[in-house]
Amino acid sequence: AATVAAAAAPPQPSAKPAPPDEALLPAPINKAEISATQRRAEFHAAKEAAERNRQRVLDEQERADRAAAADDATELVVAAGAAKPIRVPGHIARKLDRRQAEAAERRLRRGSEAGPCSETEACGDAEEVEERDYAPASPVDEAEVRRVEAEREEEAYSALLETLRELQLAQPFHHLSPDGGEDELGATRPAREAAQPAGFVAAPDEAGLTFELVEPGSADGDQLRESAAEQDLLAAGLMSGVDETPDEELGGAGEPSALALRRVLRGHLGDAAFDEAHARLQRVAEEEDDDALVGDLQRILGAHRLDKLPMMLQLIYLEEQRRG
């Protein structure tokens, strides 16, 4: 009966929790109502600010692209030994850099192919390897050695002439003023630094001062390509200096002698410039980069007398033939 009475009794209420401290509660937020007009005004203001930022980014990108195009039109190439940098078109500067990198890669590859020892042989100390006397495995073919050396000299000479021709073709760009104003010929820099579109050929006018873009498929482009060989022959004749030299100075008909060439070159260049250039050409190393040689010769002779370089090479060839 006591158990039934306890179960039937109503439950006792629990103790109420203490009220929280009002100082610790956050301050009530006053939620002010925003009208539709004010909301639309804030939206339009944010939209205008975003449009201004987008236009600013586009303007900065356009200025950067314009500066990159101007830098690509002409670049300053610092040749070894040159008195001052040479300004050439961007595609010629990149070609010279690529040729120099390929020459360095060929030298590195030749050095790696001719290793100090093979995998099957044990390499001794460096001093022992240097002091070891190696006997030739087979007799040396002198004729083959001379043939290989002649091929290398011809290849180096062709690369040198190609570099000189590229620099001569780039001479109209040398008159550009660095500050963007008018150059010595009266033309503004942006008018002559326009980027050349891909697939087009830059054809100089009769005066050689301005360039006109010619499409390869057109009649002008075909005529330009057909006359390339004739222009090469004309450039070789102008570079040789024969057209400026009387026949009596060249020693009469036939091949000019070494003494006649020496006398003509001394008359054109002067004794000091001739002696220095002649000595520099005789000190050409086998693996020397042609760009460094061109830079030294330009410093010695000057850009206006580089056309006498083929005559210098012919003189050295005749002297070697006479000594041989």
The first and second tokens of residue 64, run together, are: 């950067």
Look at residue 13 in the predicted model and tell me its pLDDT: 55
Whether 307 maps to a domain, the answer reads yes
B/e letters for 53-71, b = 16+ CB within 10 Å, e = fewer, are eeeeeeeeeeeeeeeeebe
Task: Indicate the SS3 state at residue 231.
Answer: helix
Backbone angles phi, psi at 6, to 5 degrees: -70, -35
pLDDT computed for residue 253 by the predictor: 38
User: What pLDDT does residue 83 have?
Assistant: 54
Residue 73 covered by a domain: no
Residue 133 lies in a domain: no
Assigned domain for 64 exists: no
Which percentage of the chain shows pLDDT scores above 70? 42
Q: If 0-12 CB within 10 Å is exposed, 13-18 middle and 19+ buried, where does residue 266 land?
A: middle
| Residue 128 counted as domain residue | no
pLDDT at residue 98, as a whole number = 80
Whether 96 maps to a domain, the answer reads no
Question: How many domains does the chain fold into?
Answer: 1
Whether 274 is in a domain gets the answer yes
Q: Where are the beta strands (DSSP E) in 78-207?
A: 86-89, 201-204
* 131 within a domain of the structure (yes/no): no
Domain containing 316: what range?
246-324
DSSP 77: E
Structure tokens that stand for 144 in this block: 């083959």
Q: Which residues of 180-206 are buried (b: 16+ CB within 10 A; e: fewer)?
A: eeebeeebebeebbeeeeeeebbeeee
CA distance 284 to 167: 20
Give the pLDDT score at 9.
54
In the prediction, which pLDDT does 30 show?
Answer: 57
Who contacts 85 (Cβ-Cβ below 8 Å, separation ≥6)?
76, 77, 78, 79
Report pLDDT for 296: 81
What lies within 8 Å, CB to CB, of 318 at 6+ separation is: 257, 258, 261
The pLDDT assigned to 29 comes to 58
**pLDDT value of position 94:** 74
Tell me the C-alpha distance between 71 and 90, whole Å. Answer: 8
pLDDT at 16: 62
Query: Cα(94)–Cα(97) distance, rounded to whole angstroms?
Result: 5
Flag residues of the chain having pLDDT under 50.
1, 80-81, 118-122, 124-132, 134, 172-214, 229-245, 247-255
